[in-house]
Amino acid sequence: MMMRIAGGFLASALVMGLGCAATTETGAADTATSGSDVTATDTSGGADLPKDAAGDVPIVPPLDVPADLGGDSPPPLDEGPKHDTPTNDVPAPLDEGQDTSLDLGADQSQPLDAGPATDKPMFRITTISLLTPTLSLCVPGSDCLPVNAAVDSILAENLNDPTAPLDVLTQFASPVPEAGTTSVTLGQGTCLRDTQKVIQSCAFGNDPQAPPVLFDSVALKLSAACYANPTVPAPCFVTTPKDGLVLTVGDVKIGLKEALAAGTILSTDSEKILKDGFIKGFLPKAYAATIGFDLGGKTVSLADLLAKVTLETSGGVEGWSMTFAFGATAVPAAK
């Protein structure tokens, strides 16, 4: 496998497997009635009516109404809905100790409820760096130069790439933080983002050459630390070692044997995060020799960059222990 590195060189590959309520306008002013505008009827003038013998009460002759005006009789007028007659009751005076504030529901000074916690919380790794060992670029006739910082820079660029970010996910099979045991899935995946680059959902990938790894019997602790070196304080989790953790970066796949992950789980009303996290694993020398980097026309393997680090042996295989630090934030898991 070959990766072409520019400038600071080092491939983005060294990742190993990390892998109230809406305001309602009532429009009161618009609904006010205009019943106060009453037109007075003028009763002055007109012909004098005949009066009775006493000369007091006017005699009103009966109207001559034809028996049949022809045509259909008009329907009775719709008087409209009946309304309760308003009263002018005066409300009782308020007690000076009475609470007159408007109840808007939940305490608005508190953070908004993010909804019920998921039963299987998922996290996306947002920061990652190589803790150990120190990678060195050695040029004959000159000193060896440490290149861990260059590796970390490349990893950060991959995680935050605006067009194709690297999504490394961790998902718990039960709510956290809690004491007990659970299982954890760790590996590369894909997160869907909206036009503002906000993550809407995430899911693990289905690359048969880099499948996610399921860790069983993962310890969850609320009081004691989960790991000593590096220190992982409670509340925390720690997996048991397992082979097969692979991360794909560009055209390079980097895998670790006996991979182990741990981290502190912090939870608030608005978010959950993983901090002080790390992933450790064993990189066989033979495998590291197959991962190559093109540095200005010269091919340098990952094994070359580890040449100054003391070799270890695991199960009769020579190689190096690798440790990466990481931090992660909760993301919505695809349904």
pLDDT per position as a tens digit, 15-24: 343 333 333 3
In the sheet that holds 2-4, the strands lie side by side as 2-4, 292-295, 298-301
Among 89-103, 138-152, 166-180, 292-306, the range scoring the smallest mean pLDDT is 89-103
**Segment 254-283 mean pLDDT:** 92
CA–CA separation, 170 and 189 (whole Å): 10
pLDDT per position as a tens digit, 92-150: 444 444 443 333 333 333 332 333 446 899 999 999 999 999 999 888 888 888 988 88
